[in-house]
Amino acid sequence: MNLKKTSLFEEHVKLNAKMVPFAGYSMPVQYTSVKNEVYAVRNNCGVFDVSHMGEFFVTGKDAISFVDYLMTNSFASVPMNKAVYSPLCRHDGTIIDDFIAYKLTPERVLLCVNASNIEKDWKWITSVQNEKQFDIELINSSAEYSLLAVQGSKTIENLEKIGLEIEHNLPYYSATEGHFQNSLVIIARTGYTGEDGFEIFIKNEMVETIWKKLIENKVIPCGLAARDVLRLEVCYPLYGHELSDDVLPNECNLNWTIKPEGRDFIGKNSILNSQQRSKLVKISLDKGIPREGYPVTLEDKTNIGVVTSGTMSPTLNKGIALARLNIEKFDSTKPIFVDIRGKLFPAKIQVKPFYVLGAK
């Protein structure tokens, strides 16, 4: 298989990163130690090359209303420069992907989508445009744009050290356009680690300069493994794990993204009238490490669900997971277990994310 490479591929190799196939790309999974990379983000600052992710620009008179129709969350109602997270749903309410939309100007919106879904999302979004006659132009800039996620409490200092002008008061989940050495950059106070941090969208030809400066300034390069652990510690869902083509937003703890009042959006009727079949829960184990695919059971081994993502949390030093439970089989008064290689390990369900500090 011919894997695609991001503009930073050679830099990753120079840093001895372990490269793995991911969404059709050769991506760094870790550089030194997943644990150290997680700690770097939680305590200081780390940088991820996430250039494999997709960037679509929506421009034109109807850009905002188009994106508002595309997502379950409300986009039209938020102020300029805000970023909005939402699932991307079909008319039957099932999930195509999740994405973040950045309201850059009244007529220019950036959509950031998962790498594995770029083609699928593009096909869907263009079909919606054709269906509804929105006055917009859609541009798939995924191949021209790189994306760096610089995450952690010391991010602002580090970005300033390398000469990137950062608006200190930029609210969390907002974006602004700026320049770096005469190249246009989009700087967003977003990320998927639960920490304060910024995502920098930049044309491919400039990304190496920023990356090298960050590394020279001792920002720790972090791989996909650390990113997955970090997002799981704060219980952010991930497409292909918690989110999939078979589930509805209310089955993924995404009720908070469904804003039906006074607006129309794709899948609205299906989502509002749907019967919830399963729920996503946060579980932690005092002993044992839950992994994706492990069964969740009652004490008598009755299967009631499955782990959708699981890991050993370096921050909490215990096994944590998100698990999908069958609503009919789940009884909140009965203890639940994770079946790890045939042995049952008690699991605790909790309401809050495993890690709650960090992001503003």
State the DSSP string of 59-95. Answer: ESTTHHHHHHHHBSS--TTSPTTBEEEEEEE-TTS-E
Cβ atoms of 83 and 174 closer than 8 Å? yes
Out of 6, 7, 26, 30, the residue judged to bind another protein by CB under 8 A: 30
Question: Quick check: 34 binds another protein (CB under 8 A)?
Answer: yes
* Burial label, 108 (beta-carbon count in 10 A; 0-12, 13-18, 19+): middle
Q: What gap in Å lies between CA 69 and CA 57, rounded to an integer?
A: 16
- Cα angle 130, 123, 102; round to 5: 85
Nearer to another protein, 281 or 340 (CB): 340
List strands edge to edge, sheet with 197-203. Answer: 175-180, 183-188, 197-203, 145-151, 46-49, 220-222
Question: Quick check: 194 binds another protein (CB under 8 A)?
Answer: no
Question: Quick check: 16 binds another protein (CB under 8 A)?
Answer: yes
Look up residue 145 and give its two tokens. Answer: 């744009």
Out of 21, 33, 179, 184, the residue judged to bind another protein by CB under 8 A: 33
Out of 229, 283, 285, 336, the residue judged to bind another protein by CB under 8 A: 229
Out of 228, 233, 242, 251, the residue judged to bind another protein by CB under 8 A: 228
Site pattern 291..330 for another protein (x: CB under 8 A): x-------------------xx-x----------------
Cβ atoms of 203 and 188 closer than 8 Å? no
Question: Quick check: 126 binds another protein (CB under 8 A)?
Answer: no
Site pattern 337..356 for another protein (x: CB under 8 A): ----x---------------
Question: Quick check: 281 binds another protein (CB under 8 A)?
Answer: no
Which residues of this chain interact with another protein, rule CB under 8 A? 16, 29-30, 33-35, 225, 228-229, 288-289, 291, 311-312, 314, 341
